[in-house]
Structure 1
Amino acid sequence: MEMMMQDEAAAAANKAGPEATPNQTIYINNLNEKVKLDELKKSLNAVFSQFGKIVEVLAFKTLKHKGQAWVVFDNPDSASNAISKMNGFPFYDKPMRIHFAKTKSDVIAKADGTFVPREKRKRHEEKGGKKKKEQHHDSTRLAMPPYPGVYGSAPPLSQVPYPGGGGGGGVKSNLPEAPAPPNNILFVQHLPHDTTPETLQNLFDKYHGFKEVRMVAAKPGIAFVEFADEMHSTVAMQGLEGFTIHQTPMRITYAKK
């Protein structure tokens, strides 16, 4: 029964898009479906807590909700900031797609007094629902091009060239080299030459999962910082990117392996 109620709660908010009104709940899809549910929720909480207080993180085991999640903040500004900073961010090797949820979560609706039991909403939405579905089907059929991928439709993501990738028939590309994929080791640059390992350790060990700092004696100004996994390194990178040491802002990226 509890799982059924969760499914219904998620179904009411699972469709979202750019046209949704800004609110406290963000909808995330294109998540890696191989990640276990508990790990996914903990990782989402770790990544998005930097933008504000999180009320709850919703994700479900059901097939129709695979690869999706909802993060509920305590205010719309936090949700908006999370979307602008994290939309497209690589998360377990897949770029997240993030929008405002089209409906607020039950926990927020109950707090502001606008909560309506889903049974009443369902009966109301079913009136004329069949007619809207038929109209949508007809308009979709008319708008659909005769062949996929033509008449200006966007190409599949798999066909979009990746900056720094191969191809091009042997012609040297002027595009910048592709960044390293997310991993547990950070590459820190633009450090003052007198920066010590202890200075960096004092900064990074405030983040969960910190393991060690490695500096290169032959190359002052750079360092490698290792974490237990890529989720902890990502949170640290988001928190310290641009942090100033002796009036010099650090540059942090993932290390190449």
Structure 2
Amino acid sequence: MMDGDVSGQANAVPHAIQQPSANETLYIQNLNENIKLPVLKQSLEALFSTYGKVLSVIAHSNVRMRGQAFVSFKSSEIATKAMQEVNGFPLYGKAMRITYAKSKSDSVVKHLGGPDGEHALEKHKAQRLEKKPITRRRNILREREMQRKRKAAEIGVPVDSIESKSNSLARVQANQLPDEYLPPNKLLFLQHIPTTTTRESLQSLFGNYPNLVEVRTIPGRSDIAFVEYSDIPSGVQAREATNGYAMPNGERIKVSYARA
């Protein structure tokens, strides 16, 4: 399934309800979506090849499969050891979630088929094609995407301008949340900054905490600014240390996580 079509795993039943059995292929979630696909695949292969030969690393850039990948080995024993030791490893700042894939990848089918590997692979692909229409009809995400396309066609606008219901709801909820309850972010939002405060003084203050990227002031608005760190843990540390910090004139700045 993985080398040619990964749609089945995206609709997997939650792990607590249905855990796939041992497999030569691992299903990896929660990968950093900001990392370019070739770099991500190279990193995964380098990491997992320490446990045995990696037959294939499959990842796609489409919206439905972002942040996910499949890594295949020669045996389920190797896959199991890799899963046990790598699950939770923070690759590019995000802890990977790893389970067994629901079915064998093309590369595994070919490998296990030995001399008849090509024949086994062709049979495997044929079986997958037979199941594909059923799988797609059950794909909720695909149906939502089709609804967006139909709506865009009806009103004559680009598909990208039609926001999905889930994204729209998440945005509304985020905008309704008080600053104190926003989720952690590497980008901080500063408020109540004294008008006499310079960008350099903010740079000095927030530079006391690791991995500062930049301080961005807003032209015409001296009372607010943004401070960006290279990762979320650094942003959390800086926010906890500086929220309520008393400036030289006694005024306390408010530091919250930026809204998505």
Q: Give the TM-score normalised by the residue count of structure 1.
A: 0.44
Q: Which has the larger radius of gyration?
A: 2
Tell me which protein shows more helix as a share of its residues. Answer: 2
Q: Give the TM-score normalised by the residue count of structure 2.
A: 0.43
